[in-house]
Structure 1
Amino acid sequence: MKRFAEVERTTKETKIKAEFNIDGNGENDISTGIPFFDHMLTLFSVHGFFDLNLRASGDIDVDYHHTVEDVGLVLGEALAIALGNRKGIKRYGHAVTPMDDAISTVTIDLSNRPFLVYLIPELFVRQTEVYSCLFKEFFRAFSNKSGMNLHINASYGENDHHLIESIFKSFARSLDLATSVDERVKHVHSSKGLL
């Protein structure tokens, strides 16, 4: 079964189209109008081995918020569709990724119970081109739409770019693991028999 989804979202603030393949090899074509965000989404694709084609336009003349959050909504929905009933997946993923001076840990449970914990050093809250608080909104939207319990803990770092990059790489690697198929899992990976 191909684990693929195509999702479109159009509002008065944004227009987004995504094609997402869980079982890819990291091929991507991404354009959001926000170069740093494009870079992070490219890292997500490459390090998670997800194929991602994404086009987004939004009212970035006002703020990046709507575009960043709505891309999270679209990608979360695409993941949920591509996973289907979640039978056979490992469900859990965990990764710790350094990027030079920075390191972060991401832990995922594809439980259908969305929740976000987003811990980053206060130093980094307002230093990136796309403020760190906007990335929190991206991950919250992704978590809510995909039904993902998501814990992000950026432990330390001196460079804001490196810190955010380590988060996206850890997110990609942990999601790759959580979406992996395990032949031992005959149904859904839950003692209740349902996610």
Structure 2
Amino acid sequence: MEVPVYREGERPLQAYSIQRKTKETDIQLSLSLEGGEVAVSTGIGFFDHMLTAFAFYGGLGLKLEVDGDLEVDGHHTVEDVGIVLGQAMSRALGDRKGIRRFASAYIPMDEALCFTALDFSNRPFLVFDADMPQPMIGAYDACLTEEFMRAFAVNSGLTLHMKCLYGKNAHHIIEALFKSLGVAVKEAVAVTGTGVTSTKGVL
């Protein structure tokens, strides 16, 4: 069930709420591009930490509750959060009129340096180049970072390029990736005009 926070035909208020339930996950998510409370509970502590960092550096309000099949592993939970977060982002952006659209960010964390470049183009694509030196951070499988980013990009209509230039600690690499995503999203969704940022006139 999706619950818009604006009436059809009106400019979106840059917020959206979604509830999505499958046999693997039950997710309730509210997203505001204008900021607000950040409260995240997925059952995976490190993932909560990453989503909280993403929302903070993205200037986003994010309320997220997830009941997932963690007795299997974290894959469904992480990927499905990416799907729902991406859908909420796309709905909150509405027709995308006035947004800056493009942005990029370098973020260092200790020995790691990561880069994100993105375009809210409505042409989803992911390029992900980040090796993970350690396979697990607590109960979080490091390889799921790419799965989350792919699900988020596809469902938000985002062209997303991410790269770890160097790093030896998977915790630092993943955190720098999430933070760089947040910083870039904050810049890209900023309203700087009135029309669509495209020579075609539509995204």
The bucket for the TM-score relative to the shorter chain is: over 0.9
Select 2:137's aligned residue among 115, 124, 128: 128
Aligned to 1:164: 174
Does 2:105 match 1:91? no
C-alpha deviation, 1:127, in angstroms: 3.8
SS across alignment from 1:123? coil
Asked if 1:77 corresponds to 2:87, the answer is yes
The residue identity in structure 1 corresponding to 2:202 is L
Counterparts of 1:139 and 1:158 in 2: how far apart (Å)? 21
Between the aligned partners of 1:140 and 1:28, the Cα distance in structure 2 is 23
Give me the whole-angstrom Cα distance separating, in 1, the residues matched to 2:202 and 2:45.
40
Deviation at 1:187, TM superposition (A): 1.3
Task: Provide the TM-score with structure 2 as the length reference.
Answer: 0.91
Residue number among 116, 139, 151 corresponding to 1:141 in the alignment: 151
AA partner of residue 113 (structure 1): R
Report the CA distance between 1:159 and its aligned residue: 1.4
Structure 1 Cα separation of the partners of residues 75 and 132 of structure 2: 19
Do the aligned partners of 2:133 and 2:169 also contact (CA within 8 Å) in 1? no
User: What is the aligned partner in structure 2 of residue 181 from structure 1?
Assistant: 191
Tell whether 2:21 aligns with 1:10.
yes
Alpha-carbon distance between aligned partners in 2 of 1:6 and 1:98, rounded to the nearest angstrom: 32
Alpha-carbon offset, residue 122 of structure 1: 5.2
User: What are the Cα deviations for residues 38-65 of structure 1, in whole angstroms up to 9, with x where unaligned?
Assistant: 0000101111110100000100110100
Could you list the runs of 5+ residues in structure 1 that have no partner in the other structure? none
Q: Does 1:19 align with 2:30?
A: yes
CA displacement 1:137-177 (0-9 Å, x = unmatched): 11111011100000010111121111100000000000011
Contact 2:132 2:143 in 1 (8 A): no
Give, as a single letter, the amino acid of the residue that structure 1 aligns with 2:15: F
Gaps of 5+ in 2: 1-11
What SS class does the counterpart of residue 20 from structure 1 fall into?
A: strand
Contact 1:121 1:156 in 2 (8 A): no
Question: Post-superposition shift, 1:93?
Answer: 1.0
Q: Which of 19, 29, 38 is residue 48 of structure 2 equivalent to?
A: 38
Structure 1 residue 102 corresponds to structure 2 residue 102: no
Alpha carbons 1:121, 1:155 under 8 Å: kept: no
Distance 1:138 1:28 in 2: 19
TM-score, reference length from structure 1? 0.95
Distance 2:54 2:16 in 1: 17
Q: Write the distance in 2 (CA, Å) between the matches of 1:134 and 1:93.
A: 24
Calculate percent identity across the aligned residue pairs. 46
CA distance in 2, matches of 1:24, 1:119: 30
Aligned Cα root-mean-square deviation (Å): 1.1
Question: Structure 1 residue 114 and structure 2 residue 134: aligned?
Answer: no
Task: Report deviation, 1:100.
Answer: 1.1
Q: Does 1:190 align with 2:198?
A: yes
